Amino acid sequence: MVQIMGKEVGPTGFGLMGFTWRAQPCPQEQAFEAMREALQQGAVFWNGGEFYGTPEYNSMVLLERYFEKYPEDADQVILSIKGGLNLQTHQPDGSPEGTRRSIDNCLRQLNGRKKLDMFEFARRDQKADMKETFTIIQKEYIDTGKIGGISLSEVRAETIHEAVKHAKIVACEVELSLFSTDVLHNGVAEACAQYGIPLVAYSPLGRGFLTGEIKTFDDIPKDSFLRGMPRFQPGGNFENNIKLVHEVEELAKKKSCTPAQLAISWVRALNGRPGLPTIIPIPGATRAERVRENSKVVELTSEEMNAIDQILNGFKPVGARYPDSVPMET
């Protein structure tokens, strides 16, 4: 049983980024169908962002419209929203002014349709005093019932150890997939387990790479931000990294499931391993049929997990998770 903030959320969550953070967002009704399907599949933990798209069409705008049409769904959803960025510069802003601006804007755009269950800074602002920032959130927003709790995002272990001294941390969102296993070895997962903090695994499909639908660099849409990601660059990186995709495809054939289902199931299967916290993957999808695919639970045996461990032990991804301009492990 996977729980966040004391509430059962199902083994898989739902990432909202792809609905609004792209050059050509999918039609709103298509998004609504996928969102309703997520609830039907038990994926009630939803994760979005203030900066996922334009100020005129981001996660909150989409959510406000969705809950206007389906108000009965609001109480089912546990909603986490990332903010804390300067929307002009996209730099972290944990100052008192920046903190209030971001949370107030998220609440305003939700328009009372849905409670903001947790707020998380997309990156830690190294210039801000964490105690001061968290005190503002606690006294002005949590104690007054405006939001439910504080989550962390893209942090290193030291940040987790510091954060728990100043606030109750209800979740920690970090990248975790067969392509990105760093948090299992750098102390982040260990720190989450130490403090009983659920780990929210974003990009469990390696930004779509592990679905097997991308065969060559040219298969990446020309307007996709993936073309700027180091791990997808041709000339060595792409060619090395797709080897793991081929391994995943072979395992999926033997398991009679899709590569995506195998990749997500591996993340889920980490729950219960010694020294690891509760882990919930949050794959995104813009179509209802993809939501159904991602939500299907495929049980992996200990032998199959050991086989995957052996593959990962012999594989090293080439290229950083983000370009140098994007902060990581803050």
Given a cut of 80, whether residue 222 has pLDDT beyond it is no
* Mean per-residue pLDDT, 184-200: 96
Strands 3-4 and 7-8: antiparallel
**Hunting for tokens 């990446």 — which residue is that?**
220
- Residue 286 is predicted with a pLDDT of 95
Given a cut of 90, whether residue 214 has pLDDT beyond it is no
- What does the pLDDT look like over 46-90, one tens digit per residue? 999 999 999 999 999 999 999 999 999 999 999 999 999 898 888
- Residue 224 is predicted with a pLDDT of 79
- Residue 227 is predicted with a pLDDT of 82
C-alpha 45: how far from chain center? 10
User: Of the candidates 115, 80, 78, 96, which has an alpha carbon nearest to the alpha carbon of residue 3?
Assistant: 78
Q: What's the rounded Cα separation, in Å, for the pair 205 and 35?
A: 19
* Mean per-residue pLDDT, 286-303: 94
Given a cut of 90, whether residue 319 has pLDDT beyond it is no
Sign of the torsion angle spanned by Cα atoms 171, 110, 322, 87: negative
70 in catalytic set: no
Given a cut of 90, whether residue 328 has pLDDT beyond it is no
Pick the CATH number of 3-207+261-299 from 3.40.50.2000, 3.20.20.100, 2.60.120.560, 3.40.50.670: 3.20.20.100
* Mean per-residue pLDDT, 234-261: 92
- Residue 230 is predicted with a pLDDT of 87
Comparing 62-76, 210-224, 266-280, which segment has the lowest mean pLDDT?
Answer: 210-224
pLDDT band at 208 (very low <50, low <70, confident <90, very high): confident
* Mean per-residue pLDDT, 28-41: 97
191 contacts: CB under 8 Å, gap ≥ 6: 157, 160, 161, 197
Query: Among residues of the chain, what percentage have pLDDT more than 70?
Result: 100
- Residue 82 is predicted with a pLDDT of 96
- Residue 229 is predicted with a pLDDT of 84
Q: Which residues of 201-240 are buried (b: 16+ CB within 10 A; e: fewer)?
A: bbbbbbbbbbbbebeebeebeeebeeeebebbbeeebbee
- Residue 66 is predicted with a pLDDT of 98
Query: pTM of the predicted model, to two decimals?
Result: 0.94
Given a cut of 80, whether residue 223 has pLDDT beyond it is no
Torsion angle of alpha carbons 226, 325, 165, 93, nearest 10°?
A: -100
* Mean per-residue pLDDT, 127-135: 96
Give yes or no for a contact between 321 and 231, defined as CB atoms under 8 angstroms apart. Answer: yes
pLDDT band at 8 (very low <50, low <70, confident <90, very high): confident
For 306, the enclosing helix (H) or strand (E) is: helix 302-313
pLDDT band at 220 (very low <50, low <70, confident <90, very high): confident
Question: Which among 52, 66, 141, 202 is annotated as catalytic?
Answer: 52
Q: How many residues does the chain have?
A: 330
Report the mean per-residue pLDDT for the chain. 93
272 contacts: CB under 8 Å, gap ≥ 6: none
Q: What's the rounded Cα separation, in Å, for the pair 11 and 87?
A: 33
- Residue 73 is predicted with a pLDDT of 97
Any idea where the domains of the chain sit in the sequence?
3-207+261-299
